[in-house]
Amino acid sequence: MDSAVKYPTPQGNPETAKFWKQTVEGKLMIKRCTACGEAHYFPRSICPFCFSDKTVWEESSGEGEIYTFSLTRKSASGPYAIGYVTLKEGPSLLTNFVDCDMAKLKIGQKVKVVFKTTDGAPLPFFTPVR
């Protein structure tokens, strides 16, 4: 994506405030349940696996691999690629792929998080590891 792209300002809430605050520091935060041990994304206080409220914040490495993706070649805003990335820590998340040749994206490709500036907190996206 071009640096001239204007990204939307994220709309947070009290439950995700720490997540957005940490993006300013270049950190991708996930939650881990201390009851069952599972990591999850998007960050929320109730574990989606066992429904426990015993969750803690954890910094993700920001590294993962493409699980699947879709490339849209024609749109009003130009070509873009979205897909699921499975983080090293386990959770998968829906994201956009940026700063890359989208025609060369492949399932299983290693990617890392990058943050793009908005009028509010930076947004996390992923780009292939070079």
pLDDT digits (tens, 9 = 90+) for 57-106: 999 999 999 999 999 998 888 889 999 999 999 999 999 999 999 999 99
Assigned fold of 14-128: OB fold (Dihydrolipoamide Acetyltransferase, E2P) (2.40.50)
Q: What does the pLDDT read at residue 76? A: 83
The pTM assigned to this predicted structure is 0.90
E strands along 8-109, which residues?
29-33, 39-40, 55-59, 63-72, 80-87, 92-97
Indicate the burial class of 109 (C-beta count within 10 angstroms; 0-12, 13-18, 19 or more).
middle
Domains of the chain, residue spans: 14-128
Q: Who has greater pLDDT, 3 or 116?
A: 116
- pLDDT, one tens digit per residue, over 18-69 is 999 999 999 999 999 999 999 999 989 999 999 999 999 999 999 999 999 9
Q: Who has greater pLDDT, 10 or 114?
A: 114
Q: What does the pLDDT read at residue 3? A: 53
Q: What does the pLDDT read at residue 33? A: 98
CA distances to 8, 15, 71 from 65, rounded to whole Å, are 25, 27, 16
**Which two tokens mark 81?**
């690629």
Average pLDDT over residues 94-121: 95
Is the per-residue pLDDT at 2 higher than 70? no
Q: What does the pLDDT read at residue 75? A: 84
